[in-house]
Structures are given as C-alpha cells and as structure tokens.
Structure 1
Amino acid sequence: MKNRTDTIGRGILYNLYQKRIRRGLTPEMMPHHVAMIIDGNRRWARQLGYETVAHGHRAGAAKMREFLTWCDDLGIDVVTLYLLSSDNLSNRASDELGDLIEIIADLADDLSRFRDWRVKHVGSSASLPEHLSAILAAAEQRTAGKKGLHINLAVGYGGRTEIVDAMREIVAEHIRDGGSLDELSELLTPDLIGAHLYTGGQPDPDLVIRTSGEQRLSDFMLWQSAHSEFYFVEALGPDLREVDFLRALRDYAGRNRRFGG
C-alpha cells in the first residue's frame, strides 16, 4: 500500500519541477506552429485490458483537448493534430474505424465550441463518411471568425496525396487561365506549391512531436516539415503529461536551427 505522505511529496516535487521548466521558457523561445502525431492509443487500451481499442482513442482525444490548452496558455499560434491518415481509412478494421470516426467527430465539434479557437480541416474529404465531413465543415464554419489558437485537424490526411493534390490544382488553374505547360514549368516554385497545400497561407511547423516512442513521420506533413525540429516522447498518447510537453519545448529552445544546413 502506498504511503499517502510520500505520494503528496512526489506530487509537490513534480509541480515545482514543472513550474521551473515553465519559468525558463520565454515567449521568444516558443515555436509558432506545433504539429502532433498522437500515437499509442491502441497499445494503451490493450495494456490496460480494455475490450476494445476505442477506449484508447477516446482517452487520446481527451488528451488532445488538454494538450491544446497547454499550447494556448503558452501562446503558441498554430497546432496541427494528426488524427486519421488516409492509410487508416483502408487498413483499420471496420468496427475500430467506425468508433474512431465518431470520436473524431465529437472532438471536432467540442473544439469548435471551446475557447476562442479556430478549427480547420486539413486533408481530403473524398474517402470520409459524409457525416464526418459535414461535422468538420461545420466546425470550420462555426469558428471562421475566431482569433485564438488555430487548430488544424488532419483527418483523411496523407502527405504525398497533399502534394499531388497541390500540383493538380496548380496545373488546373494554369490551364484554366490559358497558360501552356512550358510556361508552367517556369512558374513552379516551392512557394507556389506551398500555397496550394491544405495548409496554404500558414507557417510551417517549427516543432513536430510524436508520442509512443515511434520515430517516423508516417506520411505526415512531408513538405511542411522539411526544416522542422522533431521530438519523440516515450509516453503513449493518453499518458502524455504537461511536463513531457514542457521538456519538448525546452529541448526545442536549446537547439540551433539550421535551415538546410
């Protein structure tokens, strides 16, 4: 049996340590845009003996709302959450996918009614169920005039597909305007392609975080993360603590960012 005094003591020390890290983070150290790959929800549910992994996805979604409040309170401008990849739509079991779609729909609706946050769907709606697309569109419309934290919900998202979609849009616009392919080859620049991505007009992520100890991008923001810093957290998604996030920010602040060097 745990000693209650020891537990309280550890809690006090934890809070003091967390406050110390926070005090060392000044506004100029903060990333403007943080991208989060929330991973480990299924593993978390299985380790705790739940009958279905939906419990893990729900816990992960609840953690993401908490994570967003941490970001907002620290003055971060943009957060992108990787919630459902285009690959997930074809490689997840139908019952798990159905639960996950409902959880994402509930999260999008919840976030659109919380604080002064602006919600945007980034990804393709082509393979999404109509009701999820409608909820994402409604969340985006409901928050369009808000000035607070900008939240990108990457749902039905794939980095390679995003680049292909951007190129198709550029070609279609150019042909529609009467241009030739030879002219287009002269006009193509990284800035033009970037402007036609799902996140066009937004700053690229300064910091990309992934939970669960996995160290891969999984087709997430391939173009935008060309110069991003990466930080990998051992904690499974639902177990992410604020101190883990503060450590990521402290690590980021201590790096010497060399763009392309």
Structure 2
Amino acid sequence: MHTRAYFDNQGGSPYNETVDIDLKGFISPGSEEERLVQQLDLSRLPRHVAVIMDGNGRWAEKRRKPRIEGHRAGAKAVQEIVESCARLGVKFLTLYAFSRENWKRPKKEVALLWRLLEDYLRKQDKDLIKNKIRVMVIGRREEIPESTEKELERVEAMTRGFDRLTIVLALNYSGRTEIVDAVKKILQDGDLDSARLDEEAFARHLYTVGIPDPDLLIRTSGEIRVSNFLLWQIAYSEIWITPVFWPDFRRRDILQALVDFQKRERRFGAVHARPSEGV
C-alpha cells in the first residue's frame, strides 16, 4: 500500500508539506491492524502526535516485578510506536519521557531511568540513521545528568539532517516551567512591548519553537489529565485516552487512536456552517 499525504497549515501551523507513505510489510494480511488501516484516510493523518507514556510502574507491580522492569518494557513500546509513526508518515512524535516532578521518585529509580535512556539511545543509532529519524530534546536541560546530556547532544548532532520523522523527547519537562522560562526570555531580550507581544511572538520563546502544535495527544493507563504537559501547545489538540499501560501499547493502539482522530471534527474554535446556512 502506497500513498501520498498532504499536510496543510490548518489551525495556524506554519507547516505545508507532502510526504510519501509506504506500508509494504508494515501489517499482516487479515490482521486487526489491517482492518484498522483500511478505515484510515492516509492523506489526513495528524502531522504531530504527542504521547503521555503512563503506566510503566503499575504494569510492573501488576506482574510483581521491580518498577524498573516496567520502564524497560516501556522502552520496547517506544521502538514500535516510533516505527509505526515513521511508516505512516507522521512527521513529529513528542514523548513525555521525564517530568520535573519525576525527581520526587526514589533516587535509585531516577538514576536507573537516566541510565536506561542512555542505553536506549546508544542502541538506536543504526535504526535512526537507516530510517532518517531526527531526535530533539525539550525541557530544562541544564539539570539533566551530565552523562545523559552528552549522549543526547551526540544523538541530536548525528540526526540533525534527517526529516522523515522527528522524535521530540520531553526531558526534565514541565509545561508551567516552559511558560515561565518563555516570559524570562522575553524580559531578557527586552521584548516586553505590549503592542507587539501576541501569541505568535510568545510562542517563539517556547522550547518548541519551530515545531507545530500537536494534532493528537495520547495518554495511556486511563488517567484523565494532562499532567503539566505542553500546556500552551495542546490548546486545540484532540485528546485520546486508553486504559492500556504504556508497556502494552502496540501498533494496533496507535492505529485505533488515528481512526478515532479522523472521526472528529476539528473546528479550532470556529463554527462550521450547516448546509442550509451556506458558506
């Protein structure tokens, strides 16, 4: 199956682009995944998908395993979703990997999380290059452990020229902190001119400058909250919540989210005219 998808700049995004989608070998004939793909309009997929990867600890506890085993299983789920988004033509995938609140967890667990991230990045070198996937990082980077930051900088530099899919890792991230940091930058730059400070100007000072707002926000584990994630950027995002714990999140789940996304009418605050009202 091969098609071309066109992403317009609906909703104020500055992005206009056409991408090729090749699903050969992506799904098995007769599978649930094939049934879901057949329901999709591959020319109307979200450009940017953001994910709150929740439930690693509960997944492990349910199986009477250490919490770190849940995080290891979660890393495997990341691989499958990255591949799925790349094959489907999604251009940006933002993953909430470590929040500023996560520092409150036991020190041993936090240290293992950073080490797990370093190991994951080193193991993904070949796949990132082969599939032309770029890696970016948002968050308070100066507080990230030095060894992890060096690995992140290495991978960012190695993948900077790729554009098939951009993985945005939200690390040591807080939506409120991002907004506060944006205000600080505006003050430092001397841009506090109320006549010129509009939403577009403010957004240029966010961590996500140059990245379109998410079209679809996915949260796993069934919790119904946004957990201080991309508070500015998800103003008009469609939100899809699944009870599935992140380590169990698979290709069929991302496809279900995309099918549901396409059933929704995105109005961005406007009211669509009824047929009798004309246009």
TM-score range, shorter chain: 0.7 to 0.9
Indicate the structure with greater strand content: 2
* 2:109 is equivalent to residue 85 of structure 1: no
* 2:34 is equivalent to residue 19 of structure 1: yes
* 2:204 is equivalent to residue 195 of structure 1: yes
- Matches of 1:15 and 1:84, distance apart in 2: 38
- Matches of 1:130 and 1:85, distance apart in 2: 17
Please state whether the residue corresponding to 1:27 is helix, strand or coil.
coil
Please state whether the residue corresponding to 2:171 is helix, strand or coil.
strand
1:159 touches 1:223 (CA, 8 Å); kept in 2?
Answer: yes
Residue equivalent to 2:256: 247
Structure 1 stretches of 5 or more lacking a match?
1-12
* 2:61 is equivalent to residue 70 of structure 1: no
Residue equivalent to 1:211: 220
Cα deviation for residue 172 of structure 1 reads 1.1
- Matches of 1:162 and 1:123, distance apart in 2: 7
Residue equivalent to 2:132: 116
Please state whether the residue corresponding to 2:142 is helix, strand or coil.
coil
Residue correspondences, number: 240
Residue equivalent to 1:163: 179
Identical residues among aligned pairs (%):
40
Residue 111 to residue 189, structure 1, CA distance change in 2 (3 Å)? farther
- Matches of 1:143 and 1:229, distance apart in 2: 29
2:80 touches 2:250 (CA, 8 Å); kept in 1?
Answer: no
Cα deviation for residue 126 of structure 1 reads 2.5
1:112 touches 1:119 (CA, 8 Å); kept in 2?
Answer: no
TM-score normalised according to structure 1 size: 0.88
Indicate the structure with greater helix content: 1
Cα deviation for residue 14 of structure 1 reads 9.9
Alignment map for 1:41-56 (pairs within 5 Å): 41-50=56-65, 52-56=66-70
Please state whether the residue corresponding to 2:195 is helix, strand or coil.
helix
Q: Which amino acid aligns with 2:100?
A: S
Cα deviation for residue 39 of structure 1 reads 0.5
- Matches of 1:155 and 1:112, distance apart in 2: 19
1:112 touches 1:118 (CA, 8 Å); kept in 2?
Answer: no
1:129 to 116, 134, 145: 145
Residue 31 to residue 226, structure 1, CA distance change in 2 (3 Å)? same
**CA displacement 1:174-195 (0-9 Å, x = unmatched):** 2xxxx6x4xx222211111111
In the TM superposition, structure 1's runs of 4+ consecutive aligned residues that sit over 4 Å from their partners are: none
2:47 to 32, 45, 52: 32
Please state whether the residue corresponding to 2:141 is helix, strand or coil.
coil
Residue 55 to residue 191, structure 1, CA distance change in 2 (3 Å)? same
